[in-house]
Chain A
Amino acid sequence: MEHIELFLKSIFIDNMVFATFLGMCSYLAVSKKVSTAVGLGAAVIFVLTITVPLNWLLDQYILQPGALSWLGEEYAAYDLSFLSFILFIATIATMVQLVEIVVEKFLPSLYNSLGIFLPLIAVNCAILGGSLFMQSREIPTLGLSTVYGIGSGIGFFLAILTIAAIREKIRYSNVPPALRGLGITFIITGLMAIGFMSFGGMLTGDDEEAKEEKTAQVNTVIKNTNKELANNTKVNE
């Protein structure tokens, strides 16, 4: 249940592109045609599924404060978390290279369709962002982090596929000249992000923090209305 919840959450609610703006560069650059968008989207799913669990292991057994205790008592005091950026990006760059070599060797047809996108991905913010969010959200198990990687990848895939389809169609529309290309793409993405916000209420079942925040908001609104009412009665008197 936990897994399905995290899966849906990472696709729709915390969508890489629409909620956190990660992978924007490639999202904008490679979304002119649906076929290339599919290629990049698939490559992102692929790489995220591998790197997020890998970086989870790295985080759990090397980087976190006290993570080195499996080496022996004297290492328990080390806190290497300041190295996480450099180690994560190194893992990602190496994995991308490795995946590229393996795919080229064993799956030439897949390589032909994904190949050119793989090097691009090493510096895609969505990939590093996936690992950093995994770390900052403290995802507890290896299974969950894999699910998170797949889900985030699918979220990115969904986003780039839809915008590519829209951009193919919008070429026939009469967009104001100054908005053509980049401008209208930004605005459409904004509107799509608003649409995706409506998924926000999907999984609020046991989200205590969100609930508390909401109650706090409602309370302030009530307070304000009360204040206004009091002011109004004063004026009336």
Chain B
Amino acid sequence: MVAFYGTEVTSRLMLGTAQYPSPAVLEQAFRRSGAGIATVSVRREAGAERAGAAFWDLVAQLGVRVLPNTAGCHSVREAVTTAQMARELFETKWIKLEVIGHADTLQPDPFGLVEAARILTDEGFEVFPYTTEDLVLAERLLEVGCKVLMPWGAPIGTGLGLTNIYGLRTLRAQFPDVPMVVDAGLGLPSQAARAMEMGFDAVLLNTAVARAGDPVGMAEGFARAVEAGRLAYEADPMEPRDMAAPSTPLIGKAFLE
């Protein structure tokens, strides 16, 4: 079991709720994946007089914990306002903090992210910052009070997988006790398994499932990969080596042809 801000969750898979062909497919994908946490964007759907409420009710009916996000926010002020709105809407202190620095690649703005994380933490939020694998940035986020980190695998929606293995490994090794979720850039279950084998606590993805030809089947694929990767990590995998090592002793074998 992994705990985020003291809340234990059984599934190490988190799913986004955007871009599915329909809410019905979204619901089936969640059921099949067993995901325990759903991220929800509040910004675009908000509008006046809770106009997005029908969709949020559908998400609430999934019976999973909701992690609202500030997707699409490009400034500190915008992200903070969106977080405050999310807290009211979903009655949760959790916020996945995104402050986008580059409109085209959706790369996080590290400076704005730290500032927004500081403001929100001071206001009592439990912040899940969407960040790069940068070590120094991670340190700053922890200094301002974040107790979870969400480093990217690759830019949002690319499906490129873990593009900087070295950086992610360093990050994991540097902060072994901080719960870390690899967020964004995953396209295939094998990439999710890899992240879990490296000791990350969970993965979060959206596009890879929502935009698959069969989102429900892909959701199960990811669920199994996450489980496989975690089992491998916990089982302390063997070290790779250059020379072949027979798994059966040769001495005492009756015939050698």
Do A and B bind?
no
State the A residues within 8 Å of B (CB).
Answer: none
